[in-house]
Structure 1
Amino acid sequence: MEKERIAFIGTGVMGASIVKHLLNNGHEVTIYTRTKEKAEPLVALGASWASSPAEAFVEKDIAFTMVGYPTDVEEVYFGENGLFQTAKTGSVVIDMTTSEPSLAKRIYAQAKEMGVAALDAPVSGGDIGAQNGTLSIMIGGDVEIFNKVSPVLQHFGENIVYQGDAGAGQHAKMCNQIVIASGMIGICEALGYGLKAGLDLPTVLKSISSGAAGSWALSNLAPRMVVEDYAPGFYIKHIVKDLKIALEESEKMGISLPGLALAYEMYDKLIEAGYGEEGTQALIKAYK
């Protein structure tokens, strides 16, 4: 496969692992993140550093973005030092941030005017999925562009699914987040019940993780809850952002999702309590 020249914007918990996969597969990668010091290990592995998204995308084929909030996405694309300042005709921009479907459509429209292709490609799988190169990737945009960049996505994704037109990837990710957030409530309550009943929780998990109740979160996050490991594979502050988007989109569509609303309320209270920088498994603290 031809090696692409890639710009990667945002090298946080997941982004750094994705950049490593790209480098290991021989791609030329230029990175930008707000705190240069956090990117130094990637530079040591062969990545180049740029002082802005615009600089990173100069003469590149693909730009990946993985930042925090929709406002960050706007700045990265439309800002005075954003990707659209230097995007060349025929290049592709791929936003992996979980963001607003309407913003994905806006990026797509602006890119098309410039002769640039755009995909919204939010991911699921957390820090473990990023490290192992097994992320689920939900794609919105033009199917021919999806087919074109799929070989690159396969370096860090395992379940890569085209969902439909621009914004469809983000809508699919909302479905994902609704399942995760509501499921985490069930996990916390199961552990609380088991503890009160005097059971050995690792033994309980051994039984239920491989049965009908099994899930990625039950296998990977419940054991962290048991040992009070709240290191973030995915931040509470980010799940709150995602659930807020899902609630807003639900309201636009005229549907009521009480489980989603409850999960949002519980996670939002954890932010108020100062736990926003911890992993989503810290929801157990709402019960303690």
Structure 2
Amino acid sequence: MASDKPAIAYVGVGLMGGPMAALLAARGYRVSAFDVDPGRLAAVAEKGVTAAASAADAARGADCVLLNLPWESAVEAAVFGEDGVAGWLTANSVVVDFSTVSPAFCTRIAAAVSEKTGAVWIDAPVSGGPPASEAGELTIMAGGPEDAIARLKPLFDTIGRQFTRAGDTGAGAVAKAIAQLVVATNYAVLAEAARLAEAAGMDAALLPECVRYGHADGELMRQLYPRIVAHDFAPRAYARQLLKDLEMVQDVARAAGAPTPMSGQATQLFKLLVASGLGGIDGTGVYRLYAGSAGNGITGQEVESV
């Protein structure tokens, strides 16, 4: 790489990628970015990031390409599509995919990138949400060659407070799938808890205080539950993205032969939510199914057959 701080191309500057790209620029990295949404690109351009005309334009002269995209098809297009980054990748390039994608996809695209360009692929999904991406306090789980990951450790340390190399290519994606199983299932559990508290006549907002330091306490109770009770469903993590992640979890579980009844139930709940036209709200909005305000609310009896 040309210097201690590699030149970066950043493709995908949405809820997570935007703050991450801006933080890297603020910490002295040269960042050129592209997003299909001109508004998102304009927002990061105001924070020291160079706006590029395409993914390929962003990758021109970059040592490292960072991807943060919502779907596997978007990742594939950003790399191998028209105006994709592949034309500018060399054997000295590293591609880091922060997207939440399946392990099988990671393995396939890493092999294709290596064969066609010689570049190294690292799957490095992140957890923590937009506030952590803004503060540089993300949790990062990576899969890929140990030497390539070690070279980029300063970059990972810039955007994250916890970094783990989970193993070879695809291992980061496996870890993220399991993390999403835990998180997305808890969205549904906390929504259920809030609705039960309300229905039973207690001040639902007091529940986090009631369980503080007990076994029911935790980050999700402290961060997500108050938003549910306040009916604050402004997106920090889109419901449609959580559904995509849960469906990926089911695919990974089937391939591994592992039972996932709890996350399977959560998957069905998020399918109902998205089918109600609410895929663009936050995942905490699954509460609206329990409250009957999603257009097709559920009862205690109906949820058993979801």
Smaller-chain TM-score range?
over 0.9
SS at match of 1:159: strand
Quote the offset at 1:209 in angstroms.
Answer: 4.6
- Matched residue type, 1:185: A
* Rounded Cα–Cα distance in structure 2 between residues aligned with 1:225 and 1:261: 22
C-alpha distance in 1, partners of 2:150/2:217?
32
Corresponding residue for 1:279? 282
- 1:11-22 paired onto structure 2 within 5 Å: 11-22=13-24
1:144 equivalenced with 2:147 (yes/no): yes
How much does 1:221 deviate? Answer: 1.2
Aligned-partner SS, 2:279: coil
| Pick aligned residue for 2:37 from 35, 38, 58 | 35
Query: Quick one: which amino acid aligns to residue 155 of structure 2?
Result: V
CA deviations 1:103-126 (Å, max 9, x no partner) are 111222123232211100111111
Q: Which residue of the other structure, out of 45, 48, 58, is the alignment partner of 1:56? A: 58
User: Is the contact between residue 120 and residue 169 of structure 1 (CA under 8 Å) also seen in structure 2?
Assistant: yes
Among residues 77, 82, 85, which one is paired with 1:83 in the alignment?
Answer: 85
Moved over 4 A (4+): none
Shift of 1:151: 0.5
Once residues 233 and 210 of structure 1 are traced to their aligned partners in structure 2, the CA distance between those partners, rounded to angstroms, is: 26
Q: Distance in 2 between matches of 1:198 and 1:36?
A: 47
Cα deviation 1:112-164 (Å, max 9, x = unaligned): 23221110011111112112211111101111111111110111111111101
TM-score, normalised relative to structure 2? 0.90
Of residues 260-269 and 47-56 in structure 1, the stretch that sits farther from structure 2 once superposed is 47-56
Q: How does 1:100-115 map to 2 (within 5 A)?
A: 100-113=102-115, 114-115=117-118
User: Is the contact between residue 16 and residue 130 of structure 2 (CA under 8 Å) also seen in structure 1?
Assistant: yes
Between the aligned partners of 2:273 and 2:92, the Cα distance in structure 1 is 44
The answer to whether the Cα contact below 8 Å between 1:59 and 1:88 also exists between their aligned partners in 2 is no
Match of 1:175 in 2: 178
In the alignment, the residues of structure 2 paired with residue 264 and residue 120 of structure 1 have an alpha-carbon distance, to the nearest angstrom, of 24
Counterpart pick for 1:255 among 246, 253, 258:
258
Question: Which amino acid in the other structure matches residue 191 of structure 2?
Answer: C
Please list every run of 5 or more consecutive structure 2 residues that lacks an aligned counterpart in the other structure.
292-306
For 2:189, which of 171, 186, 195 is the aligned residue?
Answer: 186
Structure 1 length as normaliser, TM-score?
0.96
Q: Cα offset for 1:193? A: 2.1
- Give the secondary structure class of the aligned counterpart of 1:76: helix
Gaps of 5+ in 1: none
Which residue does 2:207 correspond to in 1?
Answer: 204
The Cα of 1:183 is off from its aligned counterpart by 1.6
Is 1:215 equivalent to 2:215 in the alignment?
Answer: no
Q: How does 1:112-123 map to 2 (within 5 A)?
A: 112-113=114-115, 114-123=117-126
Cα distance, 1:252 vs. partner? 1.6
Counterparts of 2:93 and 2:133 in 1: how far apart (Å)?
24
Please state whether the residue corresponding to 2:9 is helix, strand or coil.
strand
Once the two structures are superposed, residues 44-80 of structure 1 have per-residue CA deviations (whole angstroms, 9 ceiling, x without a partner) of 2221111211111111011110111111111111212
CA contact (8 A) 2:22 2:48 kept: no
Q: CA contact under 8 A between 1:108 and 1:141: conserved in structure 2?
A: no
